A and B are shown apart, each in its own frame.
Chain A
């Protein structure tokens, strides 16, 4: 049975037990791939090669398929996030209310493009398809917290605070 032939945990890190727990809950079934990857990402912040290999081997999914799934879905990231994350929503309502200008201002201030992290690992600048808070557009998520009617000044101030930390 798959459970018996499961590969050993990649390291002593306790978080792998949480990952294993998700797979066990789903009976190590192949269809638990996305669920398990979600658990890895919420535990570790991103998916690295070791993690993808471990999950693929445990669920008996070809490595190519696991990698294909990871790169297909936007939510999964292969890079570790910065200490802080500023996610600017680029949904339609936010776009109509000037989210593109916010993104441009943040890119200019941090000197990175959207989807990147500053060299000191302090701030990641991300965009989202829509976080569903459209009634308060433009919206940004500062470390996961929704800030509605975000202004350029307010956002730059926040970035400034994070940079100085």
Chain B
């Protein structure tokens, strides 16, 4: 494959598409598919064949506002239809070139206006199983440019210049990480993509892997060239069967086009990727645990250093980045580091994809420039809290993050700002809670999650989270005391400071942040035996503290 051949494919696709007068794109992502998008697409194909107009019906990845699904976008007008079903197919096809179908029209301008699409630029525009669709939208151009025109050092410099930070949650500068792996000694190096999106309430990585799989592969190949690796692994959750299928197809197609394998683009660069399935362990999102899992072992983390950059998979230097991080690479290479650097806030560059869920009108995927105010995401893009309820908190960062209250909504979203508020950026889950959510109960929910997901290797996490869960259960039962609260806070600090890996170190965050902003709710549970949100059932059986902690 050469650049000319790539351009020829793109041209062929454009010529093929030009034969059609209209394009009808149907979102077939999980949310829309679960609302009958499959039947809708079949009906559209049938209606298009029956009609006189030349219509291309295409299935695409996630278009964004899932709560409006199934979504259909008609091009060239760019008209978006919501809540479409198979019965509407004929009306949609008949309306092409005429007035739009009134009952399907939606006004989502506020939702889209503040978004900037980099990672999701192809979402809704390509068929995820067609490599040619991806190539027609500048796909693999960055890889071939890198291979033929740039040195590995040049690539790392460009990524460094962009200011891109790891999108998995930690926010470590990507360029710096690449540089470390590139400098590490060794003939054999690995590139790993972390697609173990374990945070409950987050599905950005799933959407990217399902909707635009080649983007991830291209990013990995560029990374491999930059650090000198020849083998890559994508670690995907087994709970995402569609993502696994799409990636498998994408890898096969990429190999067939000579974009993976030996002597890619007639250069000495060899690279191939294998998929590894996760098996439902949250801790495997931690990089050393993920490595253990790829090696076929229990996902128990190891102390760092040595960092995977020095000694990772089978003891070799290994680069691990998140799906979204890799998805940012191709546009950065194509448009330059400065282009990316110009977006976002001072120390957080570019855009971030968030999964907006919970008690909010427009649930779904959004991509916003860093630095945007939380209020803009929730009120303008998300459409606010529905049903006449009032906003209480937004939870970011999954079980490692925290709950941000209403008075902090005017803070701009960045790694540092979220950290300062007692939460973290995390992988990008954003769960909105209203007055019907009890914050003590939410804290208990997350601690229960961490307790069951703790791998058991280190004591602070294994025993600490269990004790915290017992204490929180007592408070939710109405049997907690002020002493319990003091003990809980003390345990938070201990677990945070002494746990081995990120899971334990961040597990107390949901408790600490709710204690910081919603302490009154804890006090109310303890002293008044009352849960204003009406979630906790007071007066349940008293749970005894196991002897381990009292001893």
Chain A interfacial positions (CB closer than 8 Å to B): 30-35, 37-38, 61, 65, 68-69, 72-76, 90-97, 128-137, 139, 145-148
**Which chain B residues border A30 with CB–CB below 8 Å?**
295-296
Report which of B31, B198, B356 forms a contact with A133, defined as CB distance below 8 A.
Answer: B31
- Contact A133-B203, Cβ < 8 Å, known A38-B279, A74-B280, A148-B31: yes
| 9 residue pairs, one from A and one from B, having the closest CB atoms | A91-B200, A73-B279, A135-B66, A92-B201, A75-B280, A74-B280, A130-B200, A33-B296, A132-B203
A-B contact pairs, 14 of them (CB 8 A): A34-B293, A61-B296, A72-B281, A93-B429, A95-B445, A129-B198, A129-B239, A130-B200, A130-B201, A134-B201, A134-B202, A134-B363, A136-B34, A145-B34
B194 smallest CB distance to A (angstroms): 15
Let me know if B295 and A130 touch, CB within 8 A.
Answer: no
B451 smallest CB distance to A (angstroms): 13
Which one of A65, A75, A76, A96 has the highest number of Cβ atoms from chain B below 10 Å of its Cβ? A96
Flag whether B433 is at the interface (Cβ < 8 A). Answer: yes
Residues of chain B in range 307-337 having any CB-CB distance to chain A below 8 Å? none
How many angstroms between the C-alpha atoms of A138 and B313 in the bound complex?
Answer: 38
B153 smallest CB distance to A (angstroms): 32
Let me know if A97 and B299 touch, CB within 8 A.
Answer: no
**Which chain B residues border A32 with CB–CB below 8 Å?**
296
Flag whether B297 is at the interface (Cβ < 8 A). Answer: yes
Flag whether B33 is at the interface (Cβ < 8 A). Answer: yes
Residues of chain B in range 427-470 having any CB-CB distance to chain A below 8 Å? 429, 431, 433, 437, 442, 445-446, 449, 455
Which one of B31, B35, B67, B433 has the highest number of Cβ atoms from chain A below 10 Å of its Cβ? B31
Let me know if B294 and A31 touch, CB within 8 A.
Answer: yes
**A-B contact number at CB 8 A:** 142
Flag whether B240 is at the interface (Cβ < 8 A). Answer: yes
- Contact A135-B364, Cβ < 8 Å, known A74-B280, A92-B429, A128-B239: yes
Flag whether B60 is at the interface (Cβ < 8 A). Answer: no
The count of residues in chain B whose C-beta lies closer than 8 Å to any C-beta of chain A is 52
How many angstroms between the C-alpha atoms of A130 and B237 in the bound complex?
Answer: 11
Nearest-CB residue, chain A, relative to B279: A73
Let me know if B298 and A132 touch, CB within 8 A.
Answer: no
**Which chain B residues border A137 with CB–CB below 8 Å?**
357-358, 363
**Which chain B residues border A95 with CB–CB below 8 Å?**
200, 445
- Contact A97-B279, Cβ < 8 Å, known A132-B239, A133-B203, A135-B31: no
Let me know if A92 and B431 touch, CB within 8 A.
Answer: yes
Flag whether B101 is at the interface (Cβ < 8 A). Answer: no
How many angstroms between the C-alpha atoms of A137 and B363 in the bound complex?
Answer: 10
A143 smallest CB distance to B (angstroms): 13
How many angstroms between the C-alpha atoms of A95 and B295 in the bound complex?
Answer: 33
Flag whether B238 is at the interface (Cβ < 8 A). Answer: yes
Give 1 or 0 for each of B47-73: 1 = CB within 8 Å of chain A CB: 000000000000000000011010000
**Which chain B residues border A75 with CB–CB below 8 Å?**
238-239, 278-280
Let me know if A38 and B238 touch, CB within 8 A.
Answer: yes
Report which of B277, B398, B445 forms a contact with A35, defined as CB distance below 8 A.
Answer: B277
Give 1 or 0 for each of B150-161: 1 = CB within 8 Å of chain A CB: 000000000000
Let me know if B296 and A147 touch, CB within 8 A.
Answer: no
A145 smallest CB distance to B (angstroms): 8
Give 1 or 0 for each of B199-243: 1 = CB within 8 Å of chain A CB: 111110010000000000000000000000000000000111000
